[in-house]
């Protein structure tokens, strides 16, 4: 009976990770930064290899290797970008480690280009954010709006930053370490045309001094349980629908076998 309950619980967890009804995993790109000789390699299978400006250095990551961006002229961008994507539904997740000193206010961990930009930046002091605070900042079709995050992350080790945008739900959310820190309204619809890491490519540079790891880009708004999955599994992407189906089938077969042998 105890084994059966465990199997049911695992199967339920698998269902919770089920992906959108479209049946697609929705993973656009995944940059692990694990291979020092192939720093911009895309692990999603979509071939979106990153190109570099400056010379980000190889560093120890949250999982395996990572890239250290110097805040001066280091960055990664995509020379080509898939067509047909918009900011109506999109998510970006990455692990960041910010030094206690040597950073510039309003520098960008990443930028989505879409008739303007959506960036995850480290804030300086203003009316709603203090030095070292991560926030989402955008001017993409909705005017300038800011979504500040939690307190100062400088010198505080690794943290998972996840931003999700959904026009259908009218929400833009910022998660830090799997917890929702802030949300606001979202009605963006512009076409996505680019993505950069370590700086804001169209936003006058905005190079950040930070180590960055496990960057993932999705074409839908990750629900809270999937954000938590990325927190608990720092070297993995959200499972493909086929993988979830195989897991459920395997669990069901194991349960039947145990019942027969009982």
- Domain residue spans of the chain: 1-17+239-262, 24-236
Min mean pLDDT across 76-80, 159-163, 219-223, 255-259 is at 255-259
Give the helix, strand, coil percentages of the chain, each rounded to 5.
15, 35, 50
Tokens of 37: 């000789």
φ, ψ of residue 43 to 5 degrees: the values are -90, 5
pLDDT at 256 (0 to 100)? 56
| CATH code given to domain 24-236 | 2.60.120.200
**Buried b or exposed e, range 131-146, using 16+ CB within 10 angstroms:** ebbbbbbbebebeeeb
Tokens of 140: 């993409």
The mean pLDDT value of the chain amounts to 82
pLDDT for residue 229: 98
Contacts of 146 (CB under 8 A, 6+ apart): 128, 129, 135, 136, 137
Tokens of 28: 């656009």
Predicted confidence at residue 125, as pLDDT, reads 60
Percent above pLDDT 90 for the chain: 52
Question: Alpha-carbon torsion 162, 170, 220, 136, what sign?
Answer: negative
Residues 31-69 have pLDDT tens digits of: 999 987 888 999 999 999 999 999 999 999 999 999 999
Q: pLDDT digits over 102-146, tens only?
A: 666 788 999 999 888 888 888 766 555 567 778 888 887 555 566
Which H or E element spans position 5? helix 2-16
- Picking from 64, 77, 5, the residue whose alpha carbon sits closest to that of residue 33 is 64
Residue 11: band (very low, low, confident or very high) from pLDDT cuts 50, 70, 90: very low
């Amino acid at each position: 009976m105890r084994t059966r309950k465990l199997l049911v619980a695992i199967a339920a967890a698998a269902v919770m990770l089920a992906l959108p009804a479209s049946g697609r995993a929705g993973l656009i790109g995944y940059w692990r930064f694990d291979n020092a000789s192939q720093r911009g390699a895309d692990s999603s299978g979509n071939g979106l290899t990153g190109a570099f400006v400056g010379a980000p250095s190889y560093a120890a990551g949250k999982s395996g290797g990572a890239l250290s961006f110097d805040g001066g002229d280091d960055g990664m961008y995509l020379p080509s970008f898939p067509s047909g994507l918009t900011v109506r539904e999109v998510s970006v997740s990455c692990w960041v480690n910010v030094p206690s000193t040597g950073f510039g206010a309003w520098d960008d961990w990443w930028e989505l280009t879409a008739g303007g930009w959506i960036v995850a930046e480290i804030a300086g002091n203003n009316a709603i954010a203090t030095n070292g605070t991560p926030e989402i900042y955008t001017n993409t079709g909705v005017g300038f709006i800011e979504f500040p995050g939690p307190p100062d992350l400088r010198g505080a080790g690794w943290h998972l930053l996840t931003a999700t945008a959904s026009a259908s739900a009218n929400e833009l959310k910022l998660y830090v370490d799997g917890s929702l820190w802030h949300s606001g309204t979202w009605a963006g619809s512009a076409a996505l045309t680019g993505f950069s890491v370590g700086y804001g490519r169209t936003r006058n540079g905005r190079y950040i001094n930070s180590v960055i790891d496990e960057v993932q880009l999705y074409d839908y708004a990750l629900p809270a349980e999937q954000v938590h999955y990325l927190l608990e599994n720092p070297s993995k992407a959200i499972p493909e629908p086929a993988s979830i189906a195989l897991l459920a089938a395997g669990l069901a077969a194991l349960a039947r076998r145990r019942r027969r042998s009982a």
